[in-house]
Structures are given as structure tokens and as C-alpha cells.
Amino acid sequence: MILLRRLEYYPTPHENSMHNWKRIAHPLRTVKNFIIITIGRFLPSIRLKNFLYRTFLGMKIGQDVGIGLMAMVDIFHPEKISIGDKSVIGYNSTILCHEFLPDEYRLGEVEIGKNVLIGANTTILAGTKIGDGALVSAGSLVNRDVPPYTLAMGVPVKIVKNLRESS
């Protein structure tokens, strides 16, 4: 079964939710996150990037994970991101754990399983889970769960093939 997204909703009926960003994350913490993420985006050393993200951002990153150059993780809640062992996050991909809307903001964890490939320029929205062994094609928008061992692609993402059945 494919779930859509697991999100927490916070109404802001009298003002644009983006103006409330200081309520969802402390400004000094956000500045620290921004600095670490900006350094990490340009670091060619995968080990150093993983160390910085684990230690200073609280991300849960498994062994032998590769996060590509220019990949962007959530600036407000990077600790809500988990990436399983041996997964690869492609160049210039984005992983978000928050969304701002005119009358509310939303928060949700992002879980990426083991041995997952996220293609370049992919956006992963808050509250989604990508199962072990899944392949997400470059340029996709992950707006719902991706089951384990499937090939998913498109905007929005669609499940194209079960990888276990095709081998």
C-alpha cells in the first residue's frame, strides 16, 4: 500500500506561514544549519559531509551513504531525515521536512531506506518514505511513499516497475 504523506499541520490563519519561520526553528539554530549545509553542499569528501550532517545537524545517516554535490537538505529540521546504509542521493537533489502554505505550515519526517538510489535533481517532500532498494529516477518529485524494490519516476512520482519481479 502506498501512503501519501505523514504530516503534522500547524494553522496560521491570520498571517502568511512563511513569516512564522522563527516559530518552527530557533533563528540561531537555523543559521548554524545554513552554514553546515552550505559547507556540505560543496564538500567533495563524502565522509566529511556525512560526519558534519550527523554531528551538527542530527541527521540519521547509515554506513557508506553518498550525498552528492549540491544536494540540499531541510534547513529547519534536518534531524527529521534518515538515510539507510549504502544509499546514494544524487547531485542537486532536495530533501524537505517542512512546507509553507498561505494559511498553515506542515512538518514531516523523510525516511530513505537502505540501498536506495535517488537520481540527480530529485525533490523529496516532507512526510514521505522510500523503501529499501528503491530507485527514483532523476528529476522526479517524490510526493508519496515509494515501496521497496521499485523503480519510480516522474512529476509527480509514479511507480513504474517492481524490481524484484523483473530480475
Residue 166 is predicted with a pLDDT of 59
Q: Is 98 in the active site?
A: yes
What gap in Å lies between CA 95 and CA 104, rounded to an integer? 20
Higher pLDDT, 166 or 58: 58
Residue 27 is predicted with a pLDDT of 95
What gap in Å lies between CA 112 and CA 100, rounded to an integer? 22
**Catalytic residue from among 19, 26, 77, 98:** 98
Helix (H, G, I), strand (E, B) or coil at 35: helix
Topology at the third CATH level for domain 9-162:
UDP N-Acetylglucosamine Acyltransferase; domain 1 (2.160.10)
pTM, full prediction:
0.95
Residue 2 is predicted with a pLDDT of 59
| Alpha helices per DSSP H over the chain | 21-24, 27-42, 46-57
Q: Kindly state the average pLDDT of the residues 115-142.
A: 98
CB 157 within 8 A of CB 136: yes
**Position 28 confidence tier, pLDDT thresholds 50, 70, 90:** very high
Cα torsion at 96, 98, 101, 105 (round to 10°)?
A: 170
Q: Kindly state the average pLDDT of the residues 123-127.
A: 98
